[in-house]
Structure 1
């Protein structure tokens, strides 16, 4: 099986066996029919993926890798907060009549800040530091901006990335590692989607900064399985698994802003039957 499958199965089993139920408590999320959306949750889940060994895509069911990357580029490359710039419709629920999700996600990545070296947004600052001061311990982004929360249609779930550079003995290139911090995650709907996105981000950043991909560490404060997802998860983690797909980048792209989903080549992706019509809590 892929390592991502191992991590996912172990995490789900731990949540189901040892998690805390919110049933009967006052909760914000609800189902489209108006019923409260309760969860079984685990606090402080930390998963590690070695991107130098394999791309962390689930095979228990297929993750639409290019759609996930398209959303990542919408936030990090286009720095957009408008769903009309996104190919999928996963954000439509939180968009206004003009397609805006407010001062959230891509909007925050595009805000320019004053640094000693000049005005830069958070993405450009990351690239600048990785190229000019790779051993800095200050290479990070944060889109959970309290002063703008009231103008966000959804508070950021994956809100911060910290990049850290190491060097492997005998390797000519530096190794790029990253920590993705997430305050909350719907494990069935979004876990591998986010893992795939930020693995792809490490791949892209490493290539444009002449490094090699290292570890992605995923920290989830509130890792939860919704009540209506429990039977789906139980069935899914018993499925047959397959080796991880091979995912490679177009080596010709050296500018982060030139990447497209077509620059990702996905080979040998075998996965279980897709799960359709997953109910999403809102």
Structure 2
């Protein structure tokens, strides 16, 4: 079995070597391949990349946001997490309530025009402050629609009932660990049009063998440089938390990607990362006094022994 981080770096190399050049929804352009699987042995260490610094607290706060069933970015902003801002901001600047400077194609324009970048940042700060302080504004523009947390915790049925998929799968793991139905889906075709961003990580399944819990995620679309490192660590954390609650050890995290792509404006950053040597993976420390995953807070997690190379910045495609 390839080491956890090398498995990811192999994917980067494969896309640069064999990826197909494609246009995309954001107008940025990608190098893409379809169908790729990576396996991460969670006994080897927590799979937080070391060839560039990956911000664990952002990953953990986002996961807690999902677990809570929350879909409003206020909780994220309260925890200094800005990774979903652009999608909520887009809803505001495209609305009749917005009367500021023109923000058309703000994602691409902010990368190319330093003067516009300053204007964009000013408007983003106004937006964030409104989400944090104005309840009515937050309800209207801070909410992203029926995204991940909604589907995990409050899937609406045709009969008007609600399914808490996450609670159900934990109950199933405890009472029928060898079932082949330990599945949570975030892809709800009826709700996709109302989502700020249709789910990229669409479905995950748990598997118990020899007292260890493994998880496989199917991800329809993977931004390999910026997004996938987050996804790897997020689902490794989720697997670790559920294993803790169910009295199991961790096994593997398996990531199966549909469209795995590197954006054209991330290529040089990827090459820089590939030039670096991997380091020893860190260890995840969980507050063992908490029993349920629904009780955890950000202060209940710690990463020990994490000594990565410096972070590598790259623009996000919106």
SS at match of 1:145: coil
- Which residue number corresponds to residue 30 of structure 2? 39
Displacement over 2 Å in runs of 4+: 2-5
* RMSD over equivalenced CA pairs, Å: 1.7
**Which of 166, 169, 178 is the aligned partner of 1:135?**
178
User: Following superposition of structure 1 onto structure 2, how do residues 166-177 of structure 1 map, counting pairs within 5 Å?
Assistant: 166-167=209-210, 174-177=211-214
Structure 2 counterpart of 1:89: 82
Which residues in structure 2 correspond to 1:50-61 (within 5 Å)?
50-61=41-52
Higher helix proportion, which one? 2
Q: 2:21 corresponds to which residue?
A: 21
- Residues 112, 226 of structure 1: alpha-carbon distance in 2 compared, 3 angstrom cutoff: closer
Q: Return the alpha-carbon distance in structure 1 between the equivalents of residues 53 and 183 of structure 2.
A: 30
Matches within 5 A, 1:243-258: 243-258=280-295
Output the CA distance in 1 between the equivalents of 2:53 and 2:308: 5
Contact 2:153 2:167 in 1 (8 A): no
Q: What is the CA distance between 1:5 and its match in structure 2?
A: 2.5
| Structure 1: gaps of 5 or more residues | 30-35, 168-173
Match status 1:78 vs 2:68: yes
TM-score, normalised to structure 1, is: 0.88
Residues 54 and 122 of structure 1: is their aligned pair in 2 closer, same or farther, counting only changes over 3 Å? same
Deviations 1:115-153 (A, max 9, x none): xxx964011101110111111100101111001111111
Are residue 147 (structure 1) and residue 190 (structure 2) matched?
Answer: yes
1:102/1:151 contact within 8 Å kept? yes
Is the radius of gyration larger for structure 1 or structure 2? Answer: 2
Tell me the matched-pair count.
261
Q: CA deviation at 1:240?
A: 2.9
Q: Distance in 2 between matches of 1:144 and 1:113?
A: 12
Give the conservation status (yes or no) of the 8 Å contact 1:109–1:143. yes
Measured in 1, the distance between the counterparts of 2:312 and 2:14 equals: 22
Structure 2 alignment gaps of length 5 or more: 93-140
Structure 1 residue 65 corresponds to structure 2 residue 108:
no
Does 2:267 align with 1:230?
Answer: yes
1:183-236 Cα offsets, whole Å, 9 max, x none, are 001111111111000000010000001111101100110110010100110111
Q: Distance in 2 between matches of 1:37 and 1:136?
A: 43
* Cα distance, 1:186–1:8 mapped onto 2, change above 3 Å: same
**Aligned residues of 1:208 and 1:254 also touching (Cα < 8 A):** yes
Equivalent-residue separation in structure 2 for 1:182 and 1:112 (angstroms): 19
Distance 1:177 1:42 in 2: 26
Following TM superposition, by how much is the alpha carbon of 1:13 offset from its aligned partner in structure 2, in angstroms? 0.7
Q: 1:263 aligns with which of 295, 300, 311?
A: 300
Q: 1:221 aligns with which of 250, 258, 266?
A: 258
Do the aligned residues in 2 keep the contact of 1:50 with 1:215 (CA within 8 Å)? Answer: yes
How is 1:2-13 mapped onto 2 (pairs within 5 angstroms)?
3-13=3-13
2:36 is paired with a residue whose SS is strand
Distance in 1 separating the partners of 2:275 and 2:196: 36
